[in-house]
Amino acid sequence: MFEHIRTYRFPISLISLVIYYIVGITLLTTSEEKEEIIRLTPFTLIFTMVILLLNHMHQAKKLILPIGIIILLGFLVEVIGTRTGLPFGLYSYSDVLGIKLFNTPLVMGINWGMLVYAGTLFFHPMKIPMWSKPILTGALLVILDIFIEPFAIKWDLWQWLETVPPIQNYMSWAIIAMFFSWLLGKSLTPEMRNKMALPVLIIQFLFFVILSN
């Protein structure tokens, strides 16, 4: 039984994630309980991260420490951001994203870990200069954030003092994502792959595009 699960891990993961997000989009656009459904966002982020990691190929244990460091640093960056306005600008989180520490949802660290991992593993197998991969990951995540921000504001995940995100938010996203991707890349071996990296990125883009309007 477990052999079959390992053999069909990718298609099972892909189908599960697609169904999950389709159901989520449907409920958020048709249900009368939208406020309760959006509060499942922390579970959605954790579920997506688990699906990603389950599909990592070759020496998964080697990435436990670097991914853990990125999750921790991502959370700390958000804590600093909410307290000082640096590096992203002045913003504050609502209670939608669940348990908070220092006025910052704990799940935001997981969000950083998930997106950086997906972006980094997407570019990792490509035969392009190594120095360019963190840059491409940073650029990709900034493009994604352009769609995340309207969604987050619309569904009250967080709010900006200036109503709209300042340009420094996107510049900071790029720099931090590049650094995190470089940090993760230091632990990657040539054999490491993850077939779910691209599907997760596509699903994230479609989810935020559809629900931000």
pLDDT at site 6? 65
Using alpha carbons, select from 124, 115, 131 the residue that is nearest to residue 173. 115
Show me where the domains of the chain are located: 2-211
pLDDT digits (tens, 9 = 90+) for 59-95: 888 999 999 999 999 999 999 999 999 999 999 999 9
Question: Do 109 and 75 touch, CB atoms closer than 8 A?
Answer: yes
How many other CB atoms are there within 10 angstroms of residue 110's CB atom? 21
pLDDT digits (tens, 9 = 90+) for 109-165: 999 999 999 999 999 999 999 999 999 999 999 999 999 999 999 999 999 988 889
pLDDT at site 113? 97
Dig out the tokens for 86 from the structure.
């640096």
The answer to whether residue 1 scores a pLDDT higher than 60 is: no
Residues 40/46/47/49 CA torsion (nearest 10 deg):
150
Contacts of 204 (CB under 8 A, 6+ apart): 115, 118, 144
Dig out the tokens for 144 from the structure.
């994604």
Angle (deg, nearest 10), helices 132-154 and 107-123 = 140
pLDDT digits (tens, 9 = 90+) for 8-62: 899 999 999 999 999 999 999 998 899 999 999 999 999 999 999 999 998 888 9
The answer to whether residue 3 scores a pLDDT higher than 60 is: no
Measured CA to CA, the distance from residue 11 to residue 18 in angstroms comes to: 10
Using alpha carbons, select from 118, 106, 116, 46 the residue that is nearest to residue 76. 106
Report the DSSP beta bridge partners of residue 57: 193
Measured CA to CA, the distance from residue 4 to residue 6 in angstroms comes to: 5
Burial class (CB in 10 A: 0-12, 13-18, 19+), 167: exposed
Distances in Å between the Cα of 119 and the Cα atoms of 15, 77, 132 are 20, 19, 13
Q: What angle do CA 213, 37, 160 make, to 5 degrees?
A: 50
Angle (deg, nearest 10), helices 167-185 and 132-154 = 130
